[in-house]
A = this chain, B = another copy of it.
């Protein structure tokens, strides 16, 4: 239509240069006129280049949070089946900083085209990203981000808002004047980025802003020595009798739901985060009232998709991204699909 060859059009579409101004304007006019939109799937057909993408997260356990992130990444790869990307998975032990360091060193030595990072150790991760920046390798955060870093983009939920929401929910369903228990899993030195901290801040801010005076108790639950928890909880509930509700800022609420189930405790409202297998059980059985989901699959999916589109099509990237906060109850969990993707 513009009187030029397909080769020229392609050069214009991809800014490859070597095009005269006259040809460019002529083609661009036609492009606009016919409202041209490239077909990404077919374009992949003739693309030759191969890409190496690294994904690094804590070790993946079945039915847990990180598995969903990985699953989303794989789904994105399926959608772009025509694009040759080689996925290198490097997971580390989230309770062992040395494991993380080792894995990160390995990653820094790979000449990857892009890296997707689900982080636990903040300082370690800063060291890695610094190296990546030097080599000009783009990286994307999932689950949480780090201030003062320069990722290509990140996909997380708004953890502060999550805590704020949890405060709103728990205070609206507990008996007036009853106590609230806030549980954090403080794992020394390993605090998963600052998700829990942010949630806690959101939670407290809600209480202050709404002038809520209920007593807030804290328990520090340990993921390291689960065998001790039972005795420990028994002790706690023996001393506290005015508890109306509890919130878990990490994904371990299911443990408490399980304790409630075994001890027939039904008068304490419970709100948790993440759709882990045990959380979902607790929700289904009625021991957990609300679960907040943060779309881990979607995070992984978007991270991979964005990376591909950036690498292959130079598509501009929006840096700051928040996924949904899903509120689930036992009435809605059956219809909740974690396998949802975005075009």
Chain B residue contacts of A45, Cβ below 8 A: 42
Chain B residue contacts of A158, Cβ below 8 A: 335
Tell me how many residues of A have a C-beta within 8 Å of chain B. Answer: 39
Chain B residue contacts of A327, Cβ below 8 A: 326-329, 332
| Residue pair B341, A324 in contact (C-beta under 8 Å) | no
A positions within 8 Å CB-CB of B: 37, 39, 41-42, 45, 75, 78-79, 81-82, 157-158, 161, 164-165, 168-169, 172-173, 289, 298, 322-329, 331-332, 335-337, 339-343
A120-B58 Cα distance, complex, nearest whole Å: 51
A296-B78 Cα distance, complex, nearest whole Å: 26
With contacts A42-B41, A335-B322, A340-B341 known, is A168 near B329, CB below 8 A? Answer: yes
3 nearest CB pairs, A to B:
A41-B41, A165-B331, A327-B327
A81-B39 Cα distance, complex, nearest whole Å: 8
| Residue pair B329, A326 in contact (C-beta under 8 Å) | no
With contacts A41-B41, A42-B41, A168-B331 known, is A78 near B336, CB below 8 A? Answer: no
| Residue pair A78, B42 in contact (C-beta under 8 Å) | no
| Residue pair B173, A329 in contact (C-beta under 8 Å) | no
Query: How distant is A136 from chain B, measured CB to nearest CB, in Å?
Result: 32
With contacts A42-B42, A331-B164 known, is A343 near B82, CB below 8 A? Answer: no
Query: How distant is A330 from chain B, measured CB to nearest CB, in Å?
Result: 9
Within 8 Å by CB of A343, from B42, B75, B289, B335, lies B75
A289-B326 Cα distance, complex, nearest whole Å: 15
| Residue pair A326, B325 in contact (C-beta under 8 Å) | no
Chain B residue contacts of A41, Cβ below 8 A: 39, 41-42
With contacts A78-B343, A339-B342 known, is A332 near B173, CB below 8 A? Answer: no
Chain B residue contacts of A161, Cβ below 8 A: 331-332, 335
| Residue pair B157, A335 in contact (C-beta under 8 Å) | yes
With contacts A41-B41, A168-B329, A173-B172 known, is A335 near B324, CB below 8 A? Answer: yes
Query: How distant is A212 from chain B, measured CB to nearest CB, in Å?
Result: 15
Chain B residue contacts of A37, Cβ below 8 A: 81
A39-B39 Cα distance, complex, nearest whole Å: 14
| Residue pair A165, B329 in contact (C-beta under 8 Å) | yes
Chain B residue contacts of A335, Cβ below 8 A: 157-158, 161, 322-325
| Residue pair A332, B165 in contact (C-beta under 8 Å) | yes
Chain B residue contacts of A173, Cβ below 8 A: 172-173
A79-B40 Cα distance, complex, nearest whole Å: 10
Ordered by A's residue number, 25 sampled pairs between the chains whose C-beta atoms are within 8 Å are A39-B41, A41-B41, A41-B42, A42-B42, A42-B45, A75-B343, A79-B343, A157-B335, A161-B332, A161-B335, A165-B329, A165-B331, A173-B173, A323-B335, A324-B336, A324-B337, A326-B326, A326-B332, A337-B342, A339-B342, A340-B340, A340-B341, A341-B341, A341-B342, A341-B343
Chain B residue contacts of A336, Cβ below 8 A: 324
Query: How distant is A240 from chain B, measured CB to nearest CB, in Å?
Result: 22
Query: How distant is A204 from chain B, measured CB to nearest CB, in Å?
Result: 15
Query: How distant is A260 from chain B, measured CB to nearest CB, in Å?
Result: 17
A201-B59 Cα distance, complex, nearest whole Å: 46
A74-B173 Cα distance, complex, nearest whole Å: 41
A343-B37 Cα distance, complex, nearest whole Å: 21
Nearest B residue (CB) for A169 = B329
